[in-house]
Amino acid sequence: MTLFGQILANGILLGGLYGLMALGMGLVWGVLNIVNLAHGAFIMLGGYAVYFLFTLAGIDPFLALPIAMVGMFCFGYLLQMFVLNFIVRSALLNTLLITFGFDVVFVYLAQLLFTADFRTINPTYSGSSVDLAGVTIPYSTAGAFLVAILLAGALYVFLDQTRTGRAIRATAQNLTAARLYGVNPRRIYALTFGVGAALAGAAGGLFGVVSQITPYIGITLTAKSFVIAILGGLDKPLGVIVGGLVLGIAEAMTDLYLGSTFKDIISFGLLVLILVARPAQLVGRA
């Protein structure tokens, strides 16, 4: 029972982080109709940002997160404002293509600048853990989980309660109508993309604490974010977190009972089954 409980706990904790990863992608997809294939690269860059803030400036990763998020926000904002806004209304596939191009560029720049070495962020507490009902919970993973939930909650409140958040949702629903209400779509789009990048950056920083960073982590993480975002309903933060939890738990369970080779089969297989078995809920969205 304790092994099961332990694996389940691991799955939940990791799942929260997964959810955070997918938040940004879902937001950008739902609002801007851009499927960002470079999303994983944003996560990776955020990870490196926190890594260097930690190793060079000695800032604790959890404290470095806001700094990295601000940086990633600006980066995303500028990218959207000066590049993506020009092609936003063309076919969805073109956005896939251009973000793929970005991904190629970012990954190789990272490789060039940071080399392919594995990096981990090891604050003093990274080895310690707490014991909860027979289950070992490492401090860093727990912290990552909490931050993930916090940010998801913050995003939800932002979208639901603030004026800017509502403007974003209005733009997502009906661009023309939003324009008539005085919303500046270019800024809103840039803002949304920036927020997406910031969330990805935060996920990256946390990922660095919990796992390792290389320039290549982006690809798998983009794929996973893809899956989770769809499961969660794109720009619904709480749904996406749940989607992340589902994937995290599913992965942990398959790892335990079927071995790691089956992990990918299960997560993708699950996704395909869900998509096919409940098309009504999702077909309308496209």
Whether the CB-CB separation of 86 and 96 falls below 8 Å is answered with no
- Pattern 75-94, other proteins, x by CB under 8 A: --------x-xxxxxxxxxx
Q: How far apart are CA 51 and CA 59, in angstroms?
A: 9
Determine which residue in the list 137, 206, 210, 227 makes contact with other proteins, applying CB under 8 A. Answer: 227
Identify which range of 46-54, 63-71, 194-202, 225-233 contacts other proteins by CB under 8 A: 225-233
Q: Of the listed pieces 10-18, 152-160, 237-245, 267-275, which binds other proteins according to CB under 8 A?
A: 267-275
> What are the distances in angstroms from CA 247 to CA 36, 221, 243, 270, 272?
20, 12, 6, 9, 13
SS3 content of the chain, % helix, strand, coil (to 5): 80, 5, 15
Of 275, 89, 87, the closest CA to residue 175 belongs to: 89
Among 8, 12, 59, 264, binds other proteins (CB under 8 A): 264
Tokens linked to 213: 């960073």
89 DSSP 8-state letter = T
Cβ proximity to other proteins: between 67 and 96 the closer is: 96
Cα 178 from Cα 172, distance rounded (Å): 9
230 binding other proteins? (CB under 8 A): yes
Confirm or reject binding of residue 127 to other proteins (CB under 8 A). Answer: no
Nearer to other proteins, 67 or 282 (CB): 282
Which one, 54 or 226, has the nearer CB to other proteins?
226
Residues 16/248, Cβ–Cβ less than 8 Å: yes
Q: Which residues are near other proteins by CB under 8 A? A: 29, 35, 83, 85-94, 96-98, 100-105, 107-109, 112, 185-186, 189, 223, 226-227, 230, 261-262, 264-265, 268-269, 271-272, 275-276, 279, 282-283, 285-286
